[in-house]
Amino acid sequence: MANILLIYGHPKTPKSFNFDLKEKLVEALKQHGHNVLVRDLYEISFNPLLSSKDLELIHNGQISEDIRKEQEFIKNADTIIFIYPIWWAGQPAIIKGYIDRVFSYGFAYMYKGGKVIGLLPDKKAIIINSNGNPSALYKKNDFYNAMKLLVDNGIFAFCGFSKIKHLFYGDMSTKSDDDKSKD
C-alpha cells in the first residue's frame, strides 16, 4: 500500500479527458488499497504566483503557510502523480506556479560544494499529459522528448526523485468521447 498524492491542474471539469482520467485513476488506486490524496489546484484556488515575499521567506529559511501545507503532502507521499494538459508546448501556469512555489530551495533541492543535491530521493513521479494537437506533430518535432527533458530531468530528477514515468495522450481535440475513454 502506497501513499499517493495526485496534483491535478485542469480548469475544465467534469467533462474533460483529464477529469475523467483523474476520477478513474483515483478509483483504481483506492481499489488496490492505496491511500490517495487529490489536490485539485483550481478547486483549492492555489495561488501560482511566486511573490517577492515568498522568496524573502525562503531565503530566510521560512515558508508561507500554503506552501508548508503542500510540502507536508509531498513529504507524506510515496508517489506523486501530476495530471495536466499541455498548453503552448508546456505546463499550465497553475502547475508551473505550484512547482515554483512548492519545490523550493531547502525543501526539494539545495547546493553543497558546488553540486545540486536533490532532497526528495525516496519519491516517485508520474506525469500524465493530454494535448489537443496531433501526436504525430509532437513526435515529428520531438516535442514530447523536449518536455520529458525539461520536466522529468529539469524538475524531478533535479529534486532527486528515484523513478519518473511520463505519459502523453495526444489528439484530444479531434477524438470522440468514446475514443478518449479507450485511451
pTM of the full predicted structure? Answer: 0.91
Cα–Cα dist 178/183, whole Å: 9
Tell me the pLDDT tens digit for each residue of 23-77: 999 999 999 999 999 999 999 999 999 999 999 999 999 999 999 999 999 999 9
Cα–Cα dist 19/101, whole Å: 24
> Which grid coordinates are listed for 110?
539545495
pLDDT of residue 182: 47
Rounded mean pLDDT of 135-144? 85
Cα–Cα dist 119/122, whole Å: 9
